[in-house]
A and B are shown apart, each in its own frame.
Chain A
Amino acid sequence: MSTRPLVAARPETIAEVTFDATLEERIVDLLRRYPTRRAAILPVLWLCQERYGWISPGVIRAVAQRLGESPAFVEGVVSFYTMYYTRPPARYVLQVCTTLSCAYCGGKELVEHLKGRLGISFGEKTPDGEFQLIGVQCLGACGGAPVVQINDDYFEQLDIKRLDGLLDELTGRR
């Protein structure tokens, strides 16, 4: 399994952010694609999340300044979407689909099992920062119900045994 762990920058290290040359180069490349600077907000936020692991207020201010927007505007964008982490995420974020096809094809049981095994409910992280559980809406993979997304990767046709195997593998890799 090739799922990479997320690495979240410690809050104090990104209280103030200046983009380095590599990041700046990628931002310039993105800006070429759009007629306005504003249009680059989502992709630049993705770059930042990739780099720092999450979107801190410091990151928001840096993005706003780079793209000529107010921090309030960028914060408004960040908060509209569900995929930008505004808090440091765990190393593995488990996004369990709770929508109809998954719920009725074993998803409800998976959710109960995960909550029990990890001792957390939706929105929470395990104390060791290893796992985070999020209940999400349809992931667009319903034929493979039940579906769990772990960081960037999809896992389909899961049952409790396979999911346990995946989690064991991830914890074993520590």
Chain B
Amino acid sequence: MEAVLLRARGVPDSRAIATYLAAGGYEGWKKALAMAPDAVTREVTDSELRGRGGAGFPTGRKWSFVPKDHPGPRYLICNADESEPGTFKDREIIEHDPHQVIEGIAIASYAVGAKTAYIYIRGEFVRWARILEEAIEEARRAGFLGKNGLGSGFDLDVWVHRGAGAYICGEETALLESLEGKRGFPRLKPPFPAVVGAFGKPTVVNNVETLACVPHIMTRGAHWFASIGRPRNTGPKLFSVSGHVNRPGVYELPLGVTFREIIHEHCGGIRGGRKLKAFFPGGTSAPIMTAAEVDVQADFDACAQAGTMLGSGGVIVLDETVDMVEAAANVAHFYAHESCGQCTPCREGADWCKDILDRMVEGHARAADPETLLRICRFSSSGMTICPLGDAYALPISSMVNKFREEFDRRIGTATPLPQKKLPVLPWAGPRPGFGV
């Protein structure tokens, strides 16, 4: 398909506003400003655009939840936290085409009546935060942002807000807490951010890629957008592909392409002529799929039907040399580290999964371990946690145990007893100057 979101990749000086304008940039913004805000939202609803941040929620519908009669400010947040393992697509958009994101932010802010927008970007992305800041400044100087943008009477400020290292701050309510200057603890929903969001005001949180789709919907129309992909799964999608493929990278493909096409055609198959063993379809928070499931279509509904999720579209490919117990331990380490600690099933469960899997990897598996892992995961994914991270570790780990059970059982047959336990040692990074300790 024709490149849409990545059309600037490979174009010289692609980040400059002049390049963007020459390619028809900010035309969608002009068009939106000539419409009523509701009509803009309707156009996005008609395009059937679904959120690219992970949950696939219809974007137009999300915008329509913002109360119309609310006095006082509302906010728009662009979620550039990009922390789901296996996901690196938002960075690709920002690297090549930051104005596309800023134009999307402007249109979305206008549609929901936000006069302030924040881009929450993960702290490690220093270079990409700078790129965005420069682009915002360019757009402001060109009169697209700021007071009375394009003479429309609409004021809009856009600010970049850097996170500081915490996966959980990609979750929208944790993001809001973090933006407000607090620890990134997710909030109970409802109320949803569209009603009570940043600083207690109605707020829309959208992913970078979602917002980057919006200018194209404005200029080329909802019907054009909906003609790409399949019904209810429309539009171009960026797939971040990593792991054991010959050509890892970000690929722009219509939703509904199969994982076989992504892995074997676009990415040139498995490295070293080896065989595909398994893959995560949408970051490690999505249940794993086996090589036999490679013909599933990569879109929201087909993945859900296959018992997994498209998530962020981060495809992690594992070849036949990968030991699933080890891979599960690696996944567990991530979530044990990133759980914010508010809920017991998540905080304790992820940690126990990590400890059990580490012990299995070290050769001391116990007969009850696979069932214990499944039990912990069932508890954590039973709706007893504040945010979806409780499911995000439990579903992939239980899927790995279930789909590759014989590898977990094999560990039991060859296990040696656990050596006498050493006393735990306080992880000590040295004295902290100024505290006298």
Question: In the complex the two chains form, what is the Cα distance from A139 to B88 in whole Å?
Answer: 9
Interface segment, one of A77-85, A111-119, A164-172 = A77-85
In the complex, the chain B residue whose C-beta lies closest to that of A139 is B124
Q: Digitize B405-437: 1 where CB-to-A-CB distance is under 8 Å, 0 elsewhere.
A: 000000000000000000000010111111100
Name A's B-contacting residues (CB within 8 A): 11, 14-15, 33, 35-36, 38-43, 45-46, 56-58, 67, 76-77, 80-84, 86-88, 95, 98-101, 103-105, 123, 137-145, 149, 152-154
In the complex, the chain A residue whose C-beta lies closest to that of B123 is A83
Closest chain-A Cβ to B375's Cβ sits at a distance in Å of: 24
Would you call A140 and B248 a contact (CB within 8 A)? Answer: no
Question: In the complex the two chains form, what is the Cα distance from A42 to B123 in whole Å?
Answer: 10
A33-B157, A100-B331 known; A142+B242 contact, CB < 8 A? yes
Would you call B164 and A100 a contact (CB within 8 A)? Answer: no
Question: In the complex the two chains form, what is the Cα distance from A38 to B180 in whole Å?
Answer: 6
Question: In the complex the two chains form, what is the Cα distance from A150 to B90 in whole Å?
Answer: 21
Which one of A41, A42, A100, A103 has the greatest number of beta carbons of chain B within 10 Å?
A100
Q: List 10 A-B contacts (CB under 8 A).
A: A11-B434, A36-B180, A80-B166, A80-B183, A86-B432, A101-B86, A138-B334, A142-B243, A143-B240, A143-B249
With a cutoff of 8 Å between Cβ atoms, the chain B residues found around residue A11 in the complex are 433-434
In the complex, the chain A residue whose C-beta lies closest to that of B321 is A104
Apart from A101-B86, A101-B243, what 13 extra A-B contacts exist at CB < 8 Å? Answer: A11-B434, A14-B434, A38-B182, A41-B182, A58-B434, A80-B166, A81-B163, A81-B165, A82-B165, A87-B429, A137-B334, A138-B167, A144-B88
In the complex, the chain B residue whose C-beta lies closest to that of A10 is B433
Scan residues 293-330 of chain B and give those whose CB is less than 8 A from a CB of chain A: 314, 316, 318, 322, 327, 330
In the complex, the chain A residue whose C-beta lies closest to that of B86 is A142
Closest chain-A Cβ to B268's Cβ sits at a distance in Å of: 13
Question: In the complex the two chains form, what is the Cα distance from A25 to B434 in whole Å?
Answer: 27
Q: Digitize B116-133: 1 where CB-to-A-CB distance is under 8 Å, 0 elsewhere.
A: 000000111111000000
With a cutoff of 8 Å between Cβ atoms, the chain B residues found around residue A80 in the complex are 166, 183-184
A84-B164, A98-B333, A104-B318 known; A76+B183 contact, CB < 8 A? yes
Would you call A142 and B314 a contact (CB within 8 A)? Answer: yes
Closest chain-A Cβ to B341's Cβ sits at a distance in Å of: 10
Would you call A137 and B85 a contact (CB within 8 A)? Answer: yes
Question: In the complex the two chains form, what is the Cα distance from A87 to B432 in whole Å?
Answer: 6
In the complex, the chain B residue whose C-beta lies closest to that of A153 is B127
Question: In the complex the two chains form, what is the Cα distance from A55 to B161 in whole Å?
Answer: 19
With a cutoff of 8 Å between Cβ atoms, the chain B residues found around residue A153 in the complex are 126-127
B241 in the interface (beta carbon within 8 A): yes
Would you call B88 and A141 a contact (CB within 8 A)? Answer: yes
Would you call A104 and B243 a contact (CB within 8 A)? Answer: yes
A-B pairs, 7 with minimum CB distance: A11-B433, A82-B165, A81-B164, A142-B242, A83-B165, A41-B181, A101-B242
With a cutoff of 8 Å between Cβ atoms, the chain A residues found around residue B333 in the complex are 98
With a cutoff of 8 Å between Cβ atoms, the chain A residues found around residue B226 in the complex are none
Closest chain-B Cβ to A110's Cβ sits at a distance in Å of: 15
Closest chain-B Cβ to A106's Cβ sits at a distance in Å of: 11
Would you call A77 and B183 a contact (CB within 8 A)? Answer: yes
Would you call B161 and A43 a contact (CB within 8 A)? Answer: yes
Would you call B124 and A140 a contact (CB within 8 A)? Answer: yes
With a cutoff of 8 Å between Cβ atoms, the chain A residues found around residue B435 in the complex are 57
Would you call A100 and B161 a contact (CB within 8 A)? Answer: no
B82 in the interface (beta carbon within 8 A): yes
Would you call B244 and A42 a contact (CB within 8 A)? Answer: no
Would you call B83 and A140 a contact (CB within 8 A)? Answer: yes
A39-B180, A81-B164 known; A143+B334 contact, CB < 8 A? no
Question: In the complex the two chains form, what is the Cα distance from A103 to B126 in whole Å?
Answer: 23
B224 in the interface (beta carbon within 8 A): no
Would you call A83 and B199 a contact (CB within 8 A)? Answer: no
With a cutoff of 8 Å between Cβ atoms, the chain A residues found around residue B122 in the complex are 140
Scan residues 165-181 of chain B and give those whose CB is less than 8 A from a CB of chain A: 165-167, 178-181
A56-B434, A81-B166, A104-B318 known; A137+B338 contact, CB < 8 A? yes
Q: Which of A33, A42, A82, A143 contacts B88 (CB 8 A)?
A: A143
Scan residues 50-87 of chain B and give those whose CB is less than 8 A from a CB of chain A: 73, 82-87
Question: In the complex the two chains form, what is the Cα distance from A145 to B165 in whole Å?
Answer: 19
B234 in the interface (beta carbon within 8 A): no
A101-B243, A138-B83, A138-B85 known; A152+B184 contact, CB < 8 A? no
Scan residues 224-258 of chain B and give those whose CB is less than 8 A from a CB of chain A: 240-244, 248-250
Question: In the complex the two chains form, what is the Cα distance from A67 to B182 in whole Å?
Answer: 13
Which one of B88, B167, B183, B337 has the greatest number of beta carbons of chain A within 10 Å?
B88
With a cutoff of 8 Å between Cβ atoms, the chain B residues found around residue A152 in the complex are 126-127
Would you call A154 and B157 a contact (CB within 8 A)? Answer: no
Would you call A100 and B199 a contact (CB within 8 A)? Answer: no
Question: In the complex the two chains form, what is the Cα distance from A58 to B436 in whole Å?
Answer: 13
A46-B164, A87-B432, A123-B429 known; A33+B123 contact, CB < 8 A? no
